[in-house]
Amino acid sequence: MKQARPEAYRIKSFEEYQEKYKESIENPEGFWASVAENFHWKKPWDRVLEWDFEKPEVKWFLNAKMNISENCLDRHLENRGNKLALIWEPNDPKERFVRFTYRELYHEVNRFANVLKKNGIGKGDRVCLYMPMIPELMIATLACARIGAVHSIVFAGFSSTALADRIQDASARMVITSDGMFRGAKEIPVKRIVDEALESCDSVEHVIVVQRTRWAVDMKEGRDKWYHVEAREVSDECPAEEMDSEDMLFILYTSGSTGKPKGVVHSCGGYMVYTAYTFENVFQYEESDIFWCTADIGWITGHSYIVYGPLLNGATTLMFEGVPTWPDPGRFWQIVDKFGVNQFYTAPTAIRALMAYGEEHLYEYSLNSLKVLGTVGEPINKEAWDWYHIHVGRNRCPIVDTWWQTETGGIMISGLGGLSPMKATYAGYPLPGVLPKLLDEQGQEIREAEREGYLVIARPWPSILRTTYGDHERCKLTYFSHFKGYYFTGDGAKRDKNGMYRIIGRVDDVINVSGHRFGTAEIENAINKNPHVIESAVTGYPHPIKGQGIYAYVVLRDSEEDEENIRAAIRETLIKEIGPIAKPDLIQFVPGLPKTRSGKIMRRILRKIAEGEPGKLGDTSTLLDPAVVEEIVKGALV
Interface residues toward ligand WT7, by CB under 6 A = 254, 299-301, 376-379, 401-406, 427, 489-491, 503, 505-506, 512, 515, 517
User: From CA 9, how far away is CA 83, in angstroms rounded?
Assistant: 21
Listing from the earlier edge strand, what are the strands of the sheet with 399-402?
A: 98-101, 84-89, 316-320, 290-293, 343-346, 372-376, 399-402
User: From CA 495, how far away is CA 501, in angstroms rounded?
Assistant: 4
In the complex with ligand WT7, the residue whose CB is nearer, 569 or 581, is: 581
> Minimum CB separation from ligand WT7 for residue 419, in Å?
18
CA-CA-CA-CA dihedral for 353, 279, 267, 437, to nearest 10:
80
CA dihedral (337, 339, 344, 346) positive or negative: negative
> Minimum CB separation from ligand WT7 for residue 267, in Å?
18
C-beta of residue 152 within 8 angstroms of C-beta of residue 253: yes
Buried-state track 312-326, b at ≥16 Cβ within 10 A, e below 16: bbbbbbbbbbbbbbb
Expressed in angstroms, the distance from the first to the final Cα of the chain is 61
> Which residue lies nearest ligand WT7, judged by its C-beta?
406
Crossing angle between the packed helical segments 102-118 and 135-147, to the nearest 10 degrees:
60
Q: H helices of 480-550, where? A: 520-527
> Minimum CB separation from ligand WT7 for residue 296, in Å?
11
In the complex with ligand WT7, the residue whose CB is nearer, 424 or 637, is: 424
C-beta of residue 296 within 8 angstroms of C-beta of residue 138: no
In the complex with ligand WT7, the residue whose CB is nearer, 139 or 427, is: 427
Q: Which of 270, 291, 514 is nearest to 417 (CA)?
A: 291
> Minimum CB separation from ligand WT7 for residue 379, in Å?
4
In the complex with ligand WT7, the residue whose CB is nearer, 149 or 306, is: 306
> Minimum CB separation from ligand WT7 for residue 67, in Å?
25
C-beta of residue 60 within 8 angstroms of C-beta of residue 270: yes
In the complex with ligand WT7, the residue whose CB is nearer, 425 or 620, is: 425
In the complex with ligand WT7, the residue whose CB is nearer, 4 or 439, is: 439
User: From CA 244, how far away is CA 157, in angstroms rounded?
Assistant: 33
In the complex with ligand WT7, the residue whose CB is nearer, 34 or 257, is: 257
> Minimum CB separation from ligand WT7 for residue 523, in Å?
15
> Minimum CB separation from ligand WT7 for residue 293, in Å?
10
> Minimum CB separation from ligand WT7 for residue 543, in Å?
15
> Minimum CB separation from ligand WT7 for residue 264, in Å?
8
In the complex with ligand WT7, the residue whose CB is nearer, 132 or 519, is: 519
Q: Which of 289, 242, 272 is nearest to 72 (CA)?
A: 272
> Minimum CB separation from ligand WT7 for residue 347, in Å?
8
**Which neighbouring-strand residues pair with 84?**
101
Report in angstroms the alpha-carbon separations of 200 from 31, 204, 217, 232.
48, 10, 19, 31
Q: Where are the beta strands (DSSP E) in 449-546?
A: 453-457, 467-468, 487-495, 501-506, 510-513, 516-519, 533-543
Buried-state track 468-501, b at ≥16 Cβ within 10 A, e below 16: bbeeeebbbebbbebbeebbbbbbbbbbeeeebb
The alpha carbons of the chain give a radius of gyration, in whole angstroms, of 24
In the complex with ligand WT7, the residue whose CB is nearer, 134 or 457, is: 457
> Minimum CB separation from ligand WT7 for residue 317, in Å?
17
CA dihedral (573, 574, 579, 581) positive or negative: negative
In the complex with ligand WT7, the residue whose CB is nearer, 88 or 501, is: 501
CA dihedral (458, 462, 464, 470) positive or negative: positive
> Minimum CB separation from ligand WT7 for residue 631, in Å?
32
In the complex with ligand WT7, the residue whose CB is nearer, 98 or 581, is: 581
C-beta of residue 423 within 8 angstroms of C-beta of residue 470: no
> Minimum CB separation from ligand WT7 for residue 434, in Å?
14
In the complex with ligand WT7, the residue whose CB is nearer, 117 or 474, is: 474
In the complex with ligand WT7, the residue whose CB is nearer, 114 or 514, is: 514
